[in-house]
Amino acid sequence: EPEVTQTPSHQVTQMGQEVILRCVPISNHLYFYWYRQILGQKVEFLVSFYNNEISEKSEIFDDQFSVERPDGSNFTLKIRSTKLEDSAMYFCATKDQRSTDTQYFGPGTRLTVL
């Protein structure tokens, strides 16, 4: 069964450094999402992406965050200057068409900012 994959599984970085989290969507999916989950807390929406542009974004998704599809396959989340409070699990999710609401989540990347 096709699945969403994410790399790396765990990223440790120093505060102020840039990180790029990568996601490979299911091949025929057109809608892409990033969520984060701080340890022990609920999942929070960050951003949705369709047709090479951001569709919606939350208050969390400030100027330090950006997303892109650099090669038509990968979907990336970049954090330009990480802060301690960016430490969380980051989940990518994808969806195949607008009329289908089900999002399929990847296994997540655990980001630890020291």
44 touches another protein by CB under 8 A = yes
Q: CA distances (Å), 60 to each of 5, 10, 16, 45, 63, in order?
A: 23, 21, 17, 8, 9
Stretch of 12-20, 37-45, 60-68, 74-82 lying at the interface with another protein (CB under 8 A): 37-45
98 touches another protein by CB under 8 A = yes
Which residues in this chain contact another protein in the complex, by CB under 8 A? 4, 31, 33, 39-45, 48, 56, 91, 93, 95, 98, 101-108
